[in-house]
A and B are shown apart, each in its own frame.
Chain A
Amino acid sequence: GEDVEQSLFLSVREGDSSVINCTYTDSSSTYLYWYKQEPGAGLQLLTYIFSNMDMKQDQRLTVLLNKKDKHLSLRIADTQTGDSAIYFCAESASKIIFGSGTRLSIRP
């Protein structure tokens, strides 16, 4: 069945780059999403990538997709305290399945 996995925690120093990784199982996924969720809030779509792309850049965000390995990553450049949140990746095929979320914490 479909499964999406992420590491649970990531701690980075302010100003450094954060890289959040995700693996998925459904090779027929067409869209892959990254969402941000701050405490007590809903989901905020950060970016997404279509499965025929291998990279997408949007300001501080870079998404890399390795379709062969079914690996997706989100790189946040110059990480700021406001980036502290939980980041979810999701794969979209017949269903949309979310990963467990990675809690990103920023240290000074």
Chain B
Amino acid sequence: GAVVSQHPSWVICKSGTSVKIECRSLDFQATTMFWYRQFPKQSLMLMATSNEGSKATYEQGVEKDKFLINHASLTLSTLTVTSAHPEDSSFYICSARETGYGTEAFFGQGTRLTVV
């Protein structure tokens, strides 16, 4: 299957700083990318859906200004956690889909963010 590379795989940052997580589709063009967050021992919660070249659509309860998503090219989407706090510590996973609706999605390996 196609490969989605997520970087970094883990990051530790100080409270108040910003962290950028990259999600790349390596061998296909990802029209749509999804960002998820997973709290310990819980399921994956969809944070937002982004389509290349347009603004991300955020799920209810997710702060747009806190979690900045950019999908500027067909192979790269970034999630920036701004002014991170310890409660933002979590496992973040991206997913990419080649075209829109109805095609298979591929997942990155996830990024474990720890804010100290």
Contacting residues of chain A (30-47) with chain B, CB-CB under 8 angstroms: 30-31, 33, 35, 42-43, 45
Tell me if B67 counts as interface (CB < 8 A to partner A): no
B102 touches A30 (CB 8 A): yes
Give the chain B neighbours of A100 by CB distance below 8 A.
42-43
Size of interface on A: residues with Cβ below 8 Å to B? 20
Number of B interface residues at 8 Å Cβ cutoff, please give it.
22
Looking at the complex, which one of A30, A31, A45 makes contact with B107 (CB distance below 8 Å)? A45
Task: Determine whether A19 belongs to the interface, using a CB cutoff of 8 Å to chain B.
Answer: no
Bound-state CA distance A100–B45 (Å) is 9
B1's nearest neighbour on chain A, judged by CB, is A45
Is A95 a contact partner of B49 (Cβ separation < 8 A)? yes
How far does the alpha carbon of A48 sit from the alpha carbon of B101 in the complex, in Å?
16
Residue of B nearest to A48 (CB): B104
Assembly CA distance A20 to B5 (angstroms): 29
Known: A43-B93, A92-B105. A98 touches B49 (CB 8 A): no
Q: Is B28 located at the chain interface by the 8 A CB criterion?
A: no
Closest to B44 in A: A98
B-side interface residues toward A, CB under 8 Å? 1, 34, 36, 42-46, 49, 91, 93, 95, 100-105, 107-110
